[in-house]
Amino acid sequence: MNITKEQIDDLNAVVKVAVTKDDYQDKVDKILKDYRKQANIPGFRKGQVPMGLIKKQYGKAVLVDEVNKLIQDNLNKYLTEEKLDVLGNPLPKQQDGFDWDKEDFDFEFELGLAPNFEVPLKTKKAITHYKIVADKKMVNEQVERIQKQYGKLVSKSEVSKKDEVTGTFKNEEEEIDNKTTLEFNMLKSKKAIDILVGKKVGDVVSLKIKGLFKEDNFLTSVLGVSADKAEKLNIEVSFTIEEVNEREPAELNQELFDKLFGPDAVKSEKELKERIKEDSEKQFEQQSDQKLLNDVTEYFIENTKFDLPSGFLTKWIQMTGENPLTEEQASEEYEKSEKGLRYQLIEGKVIKDNDVQIQFDELKEFAKGFIKSQMAQYGQLNPAEEELDTIAARVMSNQDEVKRLSEQLMSQKLLNLYKEKANLKTKEVTYENFVKEVYG
């Protein structure tokens, strides 16, 4: 077998594969002999069917199959040995008048080649790395939430703005009959607030749904209806007041601190606020890091210029999709996927140039850390190392999980690389300002 390459331009090439009878005949003969041993054809004893009949019945199919296998194996080997960085897969060129009755065959395959380009990590423009801080307002609000969450309910007979009001919403026409608890900080309608304040247990009030809540999604839970239905509702509902409770805030004492963080981990209100600030800012780091990773990715895509073999890739999409595509449909699909393909090439270049690797042991440790954090959510704060190893081994035996964890670990490694080498500027912001600035 002889394989040669014809370079069309920097991004396109044609590989020519010449197959002779000597390349495939021995394998074809061996398979046909095995067929003859097993063949059950009426009028002949098993194993005694004439070879001419076997060749007539199976010869062409075996020949085509073996030649295709031969081409695939040797073409892949050639691409590896020649270190050709191809996009997609080689596409066979249509050949008019191709004849499988010949003894020697010539095939041609189109290649789309990856472009050469550089990705300087020291970007010309500084990319913002947000440091999100928990300000006094946020910390104090969190302290109030904790006091409220761990406080006790004091029953009342009359509604005030400080209270939680439990009752049942009803509307016969819309088949609404749902018991719920309202807090006044959920309400947007001043008219509804005025209606509720001063009412007593047993009273029934009529409320307009439109504009009742600050958040539209509250309607789904308080009325017990689907989100689609809640979105279309513009009705009045009755609300029967069944309970009125004032939540008396918990005292900031050692009993509460121990309940939150364990014995003697926090010993004062000052330490509580410091702990809340520290824990909040650790959580904010994940959002800040994700924002940085997204921004660096976008910067590279916008500023790393290179051409792609678009004609080849469009044809490849058209020929290899699950469903047949027209040229126009394939072109549309290529346009949709081009940005993602560009980043795959950029990311691969960054990984290769900076020798970013994932070792099995560090992937296992990463998996154990993920498992440990999952267990902590269910109250298992100090799992035994043996238990972690057992669960990690089970996780690592699942290829889908290994792929997912590998992608997460690689993202973390790339993030660390960007923090170390990219041109970053740190900007300290409160969480509230971060949300305004980043998400509008």
Which residue pairs from 274-281 have beta carbons closer than 8 angstroms and sit at least 24 positions apart in sequence? Answer: 276/134, 276/139, 276/142, 276/143, 277/133, 277/134, 277/139, 280/134, 280/138, 280/139, 280/142, 280/431, 281/132, 281/133, 281/134
Percent of the chain with pLDDT over 90: 72
Domains of the chain: which residue ranges?
2-113, 152-248, 267-439
**What is the crossing angle of helices 269-303 and 399-421, to 10°?**
90
Please state which CATH number belongs to domain 2-113: 3.30.70.1050
Average of pLDDT values for 136-153? Answer: 92
Number of Cβ within a 10 Å radius of residue 71: 21
**Going by DSSP bridges, is the β-strand pair 236-248/12-19 parallel, antiparallel, or unpaired?**
unpaired
pLDDT exceeds cutoff 90 at 314: yes
| pLDDT for position 136 | 94
Number of Cβ within a 10 Å radius of residue 81: 9
pLDDT band at 232 (very low <50, low <70, confident <90, very high): confident
| pLDDT for position 129 | 95
| pLDDT for position 297 | 93
- For the record, the structure tokens of 422 come out as 């990219």
Residues 6+ apart with CB under 8 A from 222: 169, 178, 180, 182, 213
pLDDT exceeds cutoff 80 at 417: yes
pLDDT band at 338 (very low <50, low <70, confident <90, very high): very high
Q: Assess if CATH 3.10.50.30 describes domain 152-248.
A: yes
pLDDT exceeds cutoff 90 at 383: no
pLDDT band at 324 (very low <50, low <70, confident <90, very high): confident
pLDDT exceeds cutoff 80 at 50: yes
Give dist(CA 440, CA 432) in Å, integer: 11
pLDDT exceeds cutoff 90 at 46: no
pLDDT band at 377 (very low <50, low <70, confident <90, very high): confident
Contact indicator for 207, 192 with CB cutoff of 8 Å: yes
Indicate if 267-439 has the same CATH topology as 152-248: no
Percent of the chain with pLDDT over 70: 100
Classify burial at 364, counting beta carbons within 10 Å of its beta carbon; exposed 0-12, middle 13-18, buried 19 or more.
Answer: middle
Average of pLDDT values for 33-58? Answer: 83
pLDDT exceeds cutoff 80 at 128: yes
Give dist(CA 204, CA 221) in Å, integer: 20
pLDDT exceeds cutoff 90 at 216: no
- For the record, the structure tokens of 301 come out as 């895509």
Contact indicator for 95, 35 with CB cutoff of 8 Å: no
Could you read off the pLDDT of 165-192 as tens digits, one per residue? 999 999 999 999 999 999 998 999 999 9
User: Domain 267-439 class?
Assistant: mainly alpha
Backbone Cα Rg of the chain: 35
